[in-house]
Amino acid sequence: MEISDILMLLTPIGAVLALGFAVYNGMKVMKYPEGSAQVQSISEKIRKGANAFLRRQYTVVAVFFALMLVVLCVMAGFGFLTWFVPFAFVTGGFFSGLSGFVGMKLATYANSRTATASKESLNKGLRVAFSAGSVMGFTVVGLGLFDLAIWYYLLHYVFGRGIAETTAAMLTFGMGASCMALFARVGGGIFTKAADVGADLVGKVEAGIPEDDPRNPAVIADNVGDNVGDVAGMGADLYESYVGAIVASCALGVAAFPQFNATQGSPAVTIPMAMAGIGVIITIIGSFLIRTKENATQKALLAALRRGTNFSAFAIAILAFPLVKVMLPDNIGVYGAVLSGLFAGVGIAFFTEYYTSDNYKPTRDLAESTKTGSATLIIGGLSLGMLSTAIPLLIVCASILVSYFVAGGAGNPALGLYGIGISAVGMLSTLGLTLANDSYGPVADNAGGIAEMAGLEPEVRKRTDALDSLGNTTAAVGKGFCIGAGALTALALIAAYIDRVAVLTVTALENAITKVTNMDVATLRENLNLASLTVNEQVAALREHAEIVGAEISRAATFNFNLAIDTPTVLVGLFIGGMLPFVFTALTMKSVGRAAQKIVVEVRRQFREIKGLMEGTAEADYATCVDLCTRSALREMVLPTILAIASPIATGLILGPNGVVGLLIGCTVSGFMMAIMTANSGGAWDNAKKYIEAGHHGGKGSDAHKAAVVGDTVGDPLKDTCGPSIDILLKLSSMVSIVFAALVLSFHFLQ
């Protein structure tokens, strides 16, 4: 066994450890008592609603996957894809969906237990909620590494394929994961925000009853939403981010080190895979560092969480060095790319916290602007979000330049692009822990809801509120982190797309030549000594040879990349790509608005028609609201997903691959802006409201508070439906382009 094979084992080992740690945490959660009969009954209602939604959602998604499977099989039949691709696509979708399902399942058991544990102490509550978050975090990374390992070893050992074909197939399961993630995020996001906005609009604003009041008919739907949107949706989403970054780096590694293409493994592939495995081991250790004293302050809680992530980032920074040194001793600059990714992650996290936490000036100023009403609050929040894009963007730009140049991009662009991919992997290597921090928030939120509905002592609600508020900040930080990594991953995928098109052009040329010369491809490649050349060099050599032998050139074989930004196809692609996140945000916002209005109508109807509801003598019809949300979410999630998949294909068929590259980059640029803006505007509005509720500017019930509720309501769909979905959109459109590259290459109209 070579050292490379041993290091590669870190991937399956990481997968097993992560899944084991998830089970360990799950058992820890289940050991806690669930609480009183009333708590149990409420929790069961939420669980049932969440399960019902997921079942129906996954049914719709299954139909979509079946259709896509047929499309991909037909394409494989015509030779546009290898036969691995359709099945890789399905497994990606399956594991992504499974990540969401497992996380959500546990969250719906953990909510009541967190509420009950919070009766004892804040620390106990934190432990249960954080354990539930850890189940999610480590399920995502565990299943991700598991899927990666399966496909790698399967193609490598069972089918004996070369590393290039292996990484190409792995990119496709990234596409499956992205499709599933988009459905989960958009569907779950519409569900949760329609319920939340609808419940608030009638409950808080019109009827004047507090949040999570059991008299509100939409209250169970609201709590179900936390689980299906903020937990299941996020799980599928982050599975996609994690796997996407790794497979993109692998593909770029293959392109950057063509000397390994003839062999079955490549050190450039081992690095991201092994680094992900190391990340799992480190973050498991890191999560044991998260402990607080009994009755710790919120600041101490945040410090405890930070201790865990900082340790992990630091440890990975150290361990990545020997990994790169052993695998790519002549390209130690790649280590610099890892560092730049880790630093960028820390930087983005800090500035997200700065812009959205009420410990800092921006959110406090925003809270202050409620004094002049909701209009100035909206103006302030929008401008805060727009302004907050600047620093994360500059950090990502610095990360692009540093990782490109330290990895050797000045001499060989392919190395530089590999560096960008590796920096994304570096940023996401602590994901297990980041995600655990990120996803205990909704559990705490749910626990608070249950405490309110079950009429537990006010002290319990206060504790769950403290956890929830902390969760708001960690969630915003997690989002900033994911968007940063998402932009880098998207760029890596775009580079992979360019490489893929070049490889397809090579294949088309090879076929054209072998047709007239009756030579087999292997001999041709050997004669021209192609194995040692980069793809672009291969295209040049083959084109020359094709002319000599008089081969008939197909449409695909004539394609030339002309990526100059002032080429009209690239330029128009850029414009169209720049538009996509705007239209996508508009569609998802409108969906939430429409669905919320239905909830409003239904809640008003119940208040009007159910006698004794406001007095607390009759029970609300929770199930109808859950059902309304479910139906709206399922109906509304289809159009945005189709838009995301169809746009790059349609653009490709008209403008050709040059236009597609323009589209993908345009989409990444404006999507990055929109994702950060929506996340931070929404987060700041939410926390400005919480800041006022904590007693500032007149506290709950004041005019300032009423204005703040408007801001929070506007921000809800922005931060929890639109923003996270855009992040997926960026990567999905790249992956779709890669999978459909052969089709587009054969049938494009303009060049």
Residues 643-662 that bind a copy of itself (CB under 8 A): 661-662
H or E element at residue 700: none
**Least distance from a copy of itself to the Cβ atom of residue 573, Å:** 9
Give the nearer residue to a copy of itself in terms of CB position, either 213 or 712: 712
Residue 400 is a binding residue for a copy of itself (CB under 8 A)? yes
Give the nearer residue to a copy of itself in terms of CB position, either 52 or 401: 401
d(CA 288, CA 587): 42
Residue 378 is a binding residue for a copy of itself (CB under 8 A)? yes
Which residues ranging from 402 to 441 are in contact with a copy of itself (CB under 8 A)? 404-405, 409, 413, 416-417
Which residues ranging from 149 to 208 are in contact with a copy of itself (CB under 8 A)? 197, 201, 205
* 533, amino acid identity: L
Which residues ranging from 668 to 687 are in contact with a copy of itself (CB under 8 A)? 669-670, 672-673, 677
Tokens read off for 372: 């002049």
First to last CA, the chain: 48
Q: Does residue 655 contact residue 748 with C-beta atoms inside 8 Å?
A: yes
Residue 30 is a binding residue for a copy of itself (CB under 8 A)? no
Interface residue with a copy of itself among 568, 612, 616, 701 (CB under 8 A) is: 568
Q: Does residue 216 contact residue 199 with C-beta atoms inside 8 Å?
A: yes
Which of 486, 434, 388, 170 shows the shortest CA–CA distance to 286?
Answer: 434
Residue 565 is a binding residue for a copy of itself (CB under 8 A)? yes
Residues in the chain: 751
Interface residue with a copy of itself among 81, 231, 304, 600 (CB under 8 A) is: 600
Interface residue with a copy of itself among 2, 330, 566, 615 (CB under 8 A) is: 566
Q: By CB under 8 A, which span of 154-162, 540-548, 622-630, 712-720 interacts with a copy of itself?
A: 712-720
Q: By CB under 8 A, which span of 237-245, 301-309, 470-478, 582-590 interacts with a copy of itself?
A: 582-590
Which residues ranging from 125 to 144 are in contact with a copy of itself (CB under 8 A)? none
Residue 749 is a binding residue for a copy of itself (CB under 8 A)? no
Binding mask 220-259 for a copy of itself (x = CB under 8 A): ----------------------------------------
Which letter does DSSP use for residue 550 in this model?
A: T
Residue 396 is a binding residue for a copy of itself (CB under 8 A)? yes
d(CA 642, CA 580): 12
The CA distances from residue 553 to 500, 514, 558, 741, in Å, are: 19, 12, 7, 18
What one-character-per-residue DSSP string does 249-281 give? HHHHHHHH-GGGTTSS--HHHHHHHHHHHHHHH
Residue 303 is a binding residue for a copy of itself (CB under 8 A)? no
Which residues ranging from 498 to 537 are in contact with a copy of itself (CB under 8 A)? 498
Which letter does DSSP use for residue 330 in this model?
A: G
**Least distance from a copy of itself to the Cβ atom of residue 193, Å:** 10
Interface residue with a copy of itself among 494, 535, 645, 692 (CB under 8 A) is: 494
Q: How far is Cα of residue 127 from the mean position of the Cα atoms in its chain?
A: 25
How many residues touch a copy of itself under the rule CB under 8 A: the total is 78
Kindly give the residue spans of alpha helices, DSSP state H, lying in 610-720: 622-636, 638-693, 703-717
The CA distances from residue 533 to 334, 443, 525, 548, in Å, are: 21, 53, 10, 20
d(CA 525, CA 503): 13
Residue 540 is a binding residue for a copy of itself (CB under 8 A)? no
**Torsion sign (Cα): 95, 187, 224, 685:** positive
Residue 637 is a binding residue for a copy of itself (CB under 8 A)? no
Interface residue with a copy of itself among 6, 30, 300, 379 (CB under 8 A) is: 379
Residue 283 is a binding residue for a copy of itself (CB under 8 A)? no
Tokens read off for 360: 């800092």
Task: Count CB neighbours of 707 within 10 A.
Answer: 25
**Least distance from a copy of itself to the Cβ atom of residue 427, Å:** 16
Phi, psi dihedrals of residue 651, rounded to the nearest 5°: -60, -40
Residue 642 is a binding residue for a copy of itself (CB under 8 A)? no
